[in-house]
Structure 1
């Protein structure tokens, strides 16, 4: 496996910020599609199932990106792979802009490319920022790398939909201009990553790529018993907040539905960013306290979504977004902190990929529920989801009570 490269960026610039900016840009591209769901239904004539499939389609690109990009970055360097991620994000936006004219298959391809980019950002970016936040590249306190990575990505996930929603509401060509703005953003970010970031992996690889794909730390019993039951709910909770709840209350919003969806997306992710210092305080290496708190909030938020489905109340939807956004923020940071303690140094990027791959499976939840809506009502389905969340909370707490210690 390639070792660390002791190369430093110019004085006065903290190189982790270049990586965080790339993660921000890729997060923007990955989530700018979300507030436009209603536009694709009302303006382009797609069914709710169609748009939910497109919402979750980038998981098909994301999971390979998560699992393969980590090994590639260990082998060929973080910089090269992250540049591919930014390029993939830009090309995804080009395809999405073209999809307004060329149809569903082009949109689907654009979402796949966006997903590949997000996978690279999560697996490679999270590990890279963690490395750049620790000696010899940085001197941040332990855990700062996880928070910096999650804040950079979450801000992108929030600002992208905000820009998309505003452009869709007030600018011409709403299903084209949004994506072109993101393409223009990607150009300077490519230069910054190439010139300002610091490579942390170099040298000739000592293992084959196939062997590099293996992540033995993923079998650690604390990861299996504590992190895995929580991981799908990270983005499952976010998906409920800004993909499902708006559709449940849209009937009472009329022409405000688009801006409400945009606002709910931004609110969810803003709460996720603002709560992250609390996640750091809750974290404790001898327990799973932060994870259990995040799961308890998720269960409460899902049952709140049941109330929103029954009442159609936009105000209840806002409260649900606050609770689920807070749960998301605590969960994503606490999971990263756990894997940083569990993973061996050469497995950090791989473990980040495995964690995020499991986490993003939860983003398929809106598409699954939309496909089942012809047979079951949303209140009934969300009640079952809430019971499952409560069960996973108990499972994480059980792992905590058995004192499954991290290795670090």
Structure 2
């Protein structure tokens, strides 16, 4: 039995700050897409492929780090994660004109984010229990994890965009700042206690068996958490990858404008998670239905943007897409943490996050189909799909997890 020592009630904050720093580095690339395309060292195809490289890294981190942290402990996987993020930013900063370094950096950046989401998120959840933090509520783990990641994604993109638009050495300065931030916060997690009680026991079976994650077959996970998941980054990347492209010729500072949309979207996503436990409740229909309702509104508003190129409408659309991001990720994590036992927690969390990153392919699909369909048609179709999911959730989300 692990017992809390004096001062450990705040240990969760150290893990949250490390997750925040890793997420900061993971999303710096988004507002710099415009910069790289203007720079001309790489083709547009290569730059867009870096989003896929990042997603592959995230998937590797999610699928490997989750089961490994369930088996070997949270510390063993989370302690090296910020160092992987530092290596990623170093490679990207030096790789502004070097394709190999850029690709390695983007993969490592995704890998670090995946490790932070699973090992870090599980560690944070377990530190957010009365055994370590007497003030913690059942929903505290999900809330703290989702807010740490959201804040990092939002501020990282916002600062990177501002520095790239108006600062010196635009291809390196943002990454240098991230490296300093991560190194400054790293000592805080070194003394955080292990929370995985079975991590030091003689665990039978192979690590490959752990990947199976038995609770992935849970009915509520499949019918509630999984349908919500793609809209997390589906709405996020609609807001700060698709809409800036549609508005590029209508704004004076496209890099800064992209950063602004990132901050608005993820800032709203962060704020809505503050009352998240009250909104979501104890696992009924309210959270899932509200999440999909704002998703429908956000996608419908996004479909109107290419028709009039209004900055005001774009910002309003990002507000609703940000609400969708925040509610979908918080509701999904809450479902996962109610469903999974300790020996499955990180693995199931990894599977949920893998499903969220399916949404990253939305921009690529829309770009590929551009010319066959218009953006209003494609984004309107997204609103229609969200409506169908809402109707399905009315039935599947009715009963609470036993």
TM-score by shorter chain over 0.5: yes
Shift of 1:354: 0.8
Unaligned runs of 5+ in 2: none
Shift of 1:9: 5.4
The CA distance in 2 between the partners of 1:188 and 1:52, in whole Å, is 32
Could you tell me which of 116, 131, 148 is aligned with 1:121?
A: 116
Shift of 1:286: 5.2
Please tell me whether residue 109 in structure 1 is matched to residue 107 in structure 2.
no
Please tell me whether residue 210 in structure 1 is matched to residue 205 in structure 2.
no
The CA distance in 2 between the partners of 1:49 and 1:9, in whole Å, is 53
Could you tell me which of 354, 362, 381 is aligned with 1:357?
A: 354
The CA distance in 1 between the partners of 2:28 and 2:202, in whole Å, is 37
Task: Say what the alpha-carbon RMSD is for the aligned residues.
Answer: 1.7
> 1:54-65 to 2 correspondence within 5 Å?
54-65=50-61
Could you tell me which of 381, 386, 394 is aligned with 1:389?
A: 386
Please tell me whether residue 253 in structure 1 is matched to residue 248 in structure 2.
no
Q: Compared with structure 1, are the counterparts of its residues 12 and 340 closer, same or farther at alpha carbon in structure 2 (3 Å cutoff)?
A: closer
The CA distance in 2 between the partners of 1:247 and 1:192, in whole Å, is 39
Question: Could you tell me the TM-score, scaled by structure 1's length?
Answer: 0.93
- Kindly provide the CA deviation profile for residues 115-161 of structure 1, in whole angstroms up to 9, marking residues without a partner as x: 11111111111111110011322221110111011111111011111
Shift of 1:235: 1.1
Partner of 2:312: 315
SS of 1:87's equivalent in the other structure is helix
Q: Compared with structure 1, are the counterparts of its residues 316 and 384 closer, same or farther at alpha carbon in structure 2 (3 Å cutoff)?
A: same
- Kindly provide the CA deviation profile for residues 340-398 of structure 1, in whole angstroms up to 9, marking residues without a partner as x: 11112211111111111111111221122222224332222212222112222222222
Unaligned runs of 5+ in 1: none
Please tell me whether residue 67 in structure 1 is matched to residue 63 in structure 2.
yes
8 A contact 2:71–2:343 mirrored in 1:
no
The CA distance in 2 between the partners of 1:76 and 1:245, in whole Å, is 42
Shift of 1:43: 2.1
The CA distance in 1 between the partners of 2:292 and 2:47, in whole Å, is 28
SS of 1:101's equivalent in the other structure is coil
8 A contact 1:40–1:46 mirrored in 2:
yes
Please tell me whether residue 193 in structure 1 is matched to residue 193 in structure 2.
no
Please tell me whether residue 348 in structure 1 is matched to residue 345 in structure 2.
yes
SS of 2:295's equivalent in the other structure is helix
Shift of 1:67: 1.4
SS of 1:100's equivalent in the other structure is coil
8 A contact 1:69–1:123 mirrored in 2:
yes
> 1:1-400 to 2 correspondence within 5 Å?
6=2, 8=4, 11=7, 14-44=10-40, 46=42, 48-103=44-99, 105-139=100-134, 140-195=136-191, 197-201=192-196, 202-207=199-204, 208-254=206-252, 256-285=253-282, 287-400=284-397
